[in-house]
Copies of this chain bind each other. A is one copy, B any other.
Amino acid sequence: MDFKRILEEKSKESWEIYLPNLSIDCVVFGFHDATLKVLILKMKDNVLWGLPGGYILKDEAINDAAIRILKERTGADDIYLQQFRVFGNLNRSEGFFKDFSDDLWHKQRFVSIGYYALVDFSKVTPKVDFLSTNCEWRSIEDLPELMMDHRFIFDKALITLRKQLVHKPIGYNLLPEKFTMPELQKLYEKILGKKLNRGNFYRKMLRYDILNKLDETRKGGAHKAPDLYSFNLKKYQEALKNGLNEIW
């Protein structure tokens, strides 16, 4: 069945069960191989990629909708999710469906609530839905062209992540349970978009007193096996309340 027929079949049901004019778009971040990645998908019959998204059931809280949408797409429960901005300009997506009839669900104006999600890369299995042919992780440094205003949405999500590094447990949600200091530094560098001095980073992190040094090292590398750390979640949460590096 082609893209157009699928959309038209889904349209009628959508008018019945979803809140009109409202959508959710998700920017799903994962960290793997020293690379910050984002989950994108390709719709049938389309050359452009897009962010995973969906709609809000008439009797569903918006946060529950975001959890459901992400569960459908990633198979993951317990995902760290934050709404970060509403995208409510005119003509965000209407033109995308200009060749369809005016009563098509997807052709209406959508105000979209942007959520970002932080996931443990190893626990996610990207899934295509009935509208898509691909659902893949891509490095944020190597994103293809995205449809509609999805590049703008992605950019805003990344900026939000950058600003919230001091307030939200972003490292905790993106890293596996055990990690090395170079891995933590790499994550910070990818989010902040710049190189950091190794000695300064190390000292600052230790001064925050939010890490547990484990009695283990990372085996298998060519160099001296680096120490492994985990977050001390209680101290981490406490430190975030005041903001890391923000003592007035």
Chain A residues packing against B (C-beta within 8 Å): 19-22, 56, 58-63, 83, 85-86, 88-90, 109, 111, 113, 163, 166-167, 188, 192, 194, 196, 200-201, 204, 243, 245-246, 248
* Known contacts A21-B22, A243-B163, A245-B246, A90 near B61 by CB under 8 Å: yes
List residues of chain B with CB within 8 A of the CB of A83: 85-86
Can you list 12 pairs linking A and B with CB atoms under 8 Å apart? A19-B21, A21-B22, A22-B111, A56-B88, A60-B90, A61-B89, A61-B90, A62-B88, A86-B113, A166-B246, A196-B248, A246-B246
- Complex Cα distance A101/B109, Å? 28
Closest Cβ of chain B to A31, distance in Å, is 18
C-alpha gap A43/B113 in the complex (Å): 29
Minimum distance in angstroms from A201 CB to a CB of chain B:
8
Given known A61-B89, A243-B163, A245-B246, contact A19–B109 (CB-CB < 8 A): yes
Q: Is B62 in contact with A86, judged by CB distance below 8 angstroms?
A: yes
Contacts of A62 in B (CB 8 A): 86, 88-89, 111
| CB of A246 to closest CB in B, whole Å | 6
B245 close to A19 (CB less than 8 A): no
Shortest CB-to-CB span from A237 to chain B, Å, is: 15
